[in-house]
Amino acid sequence: MVGGATSLLSWRRAAALGAVLAAVTLYGAGAGRLPTVSEAWDVAFVAFVLIPVTVAILWLALPLATARGLLPVALAVGLLAVVLEVAEIGSAFNTAKVVAFALLGFVFLEFFQELSWVVFVAAIIPWIDAISVWRGPTKVVITQHPGLFDRISIAFRIPGEGGSANLGPPDILFFALFLATAQRFGLRVGWTWIATVTFLGATLALTSAFDLAGLPALPAISLGFLLPNADLLWSRWRASGARAG
């Protein structure tokens, strides 16, 4: 099953994916030994280097979104992540979580038979996420159970420090879902990835500029999907309305 899935990747793409996975893991292991810099440079590094490199995993693994039987693979990677945590291999644990959540996002696309369903989800999840971060379950987890949040979230470690910027599991999952949607329905995959990374960087910058504990990331991820494809989505919607009429 795993061999069938990975055969969807060209050798160059597979090699690039392996290199990125290794680079992200090695950086996570050695980030604390790097020189410390100002907060502005930390934000710039995370926004313009670390986040794009890390979520390049989603881009490079995207052909796997069409694989059958992907759920057991995603669960196996999730189990591997648990083993890595127990073994206290934190950087590899973090990387494995990225892969597991990305694969689950690809799996979720199987539940969306129509493009309009994904658009509807993209339109409502920013509001749900905002409420969750400011007054809901996410705020409870972050403020009252920070250890749990650290275990389940994706950490982007600050150079030379013990702290990190973090994305929750739904952020990676929906990023992967929207990328896979763009691929499946003939939308702008590259621009979706670029726009999403840009909006995530802007969210991080706003969090730092206003000294906030955190901002919801799903609005950035939804906009990264909706804005670059707005004209295509509109034309598809009008065409479906014309057929229905």
pLDDT in tens, 23-64: 999 999 999 999 999 999 999 999 999 999 999 999 999 999
Structure confidence at residue 243 (pLDDT): 64
Structure confidence at residue 141 (pLDDT): 72
Overall average pLDDT of the 192-220 stretch: 93
Share the mean pLDDT of the chain: 91
Given a contact cutoff of 8 angstroms between Cβ atoms, the answer to whether 24 and 57 are in contact is yes
Strand bridging mode 154-157 / 164-167:
antiparallel
Structure confidence at residue 1 (pLDDT): 40
- The size of the chain, in residues, is 245
Range in 66-70, 109-113, 133-137 the model is least confident about: 133-137
Structure confidence at residue 3 (pLDDT): 44
pLDDT confidence bin for 137, thresholds 50/70/90? confident
If one compares 194 and 68, the residue with the highest pLDDT of the two is 194
pLDDT at 22 over 60: yes
Given a contact cutoff of 8 angstroms between Cβ atoms, the answer to whether 99 and 18 are in contact is no
pLDDT confidence bin for 147, thresholds 50/70/90? confident
Using the 8-state DSSP alphabet, how is residue 160 labeled? T
pLDDT at 129 over 90: no
Structure confidence at residue 213 (pLDDT): 75
DSSP letters, 79-136, are: HHHHHHHHTT-HHHHHHHHHHHHHHHHHHHGGG--SHHHHHHHHHHHHHHHHHHHHTS
pLDDT at 146 over 90: no
pLDDT at 166 over 50: yes
pLDDT at 241 over 70: no
Q: For residue 221, what are its two tokens?
A: 């991820």
Supply angle C-alpha 180, 99, 27, rounded to 5: 125
Structure confidence at residue 88 (pLDDT): 93
pLDDT confidence bin for 87, thresholds 50/70/90? very high
Phi, psi of 205, rounded to the nearest 5 degrees:
-60, -40
